[in-house]
Structure 1
């Protein structure tokens, strides 16, 4: 689990599965994994802060 506000780079996706939108992300220190997009159970899971170039 990443702390709220952690910047990540989107590496792959979106993938629609299990009724959710998934993105493969990577942190600044090189950790990677899959994260859901949107609001689930009151928590925001991916929020775009800087538009892609």
Structure 2
């Protein structure tokens, strides 16, 4: 895909098109993948029992 290029051993540079390509591949804007990450980052994780009331 040409998103990274080896500059020297163990050193890479990333393409300026990295974010655009990632979005095109469906990683960006995918609510199913984004919501758990955002919930965790904001400390909003709760057990299943917190969401279910009988």
Q: Does the alignment reach a TM-score above 0.5?
A: no
Larger Cα-atom Rg: 2
Greater relative contact order: 1 or 2 (C-alpha under 8 angstroms, separation 6 or more)? 1
Q: Which one has a larger percent strand, Structure 1 or Structure 2?
A: 1
Q: Which one has a larger percent helix, Structure 1 or Structure 2?
A: 2
TM-score, normalisation: structure 2: 0.19
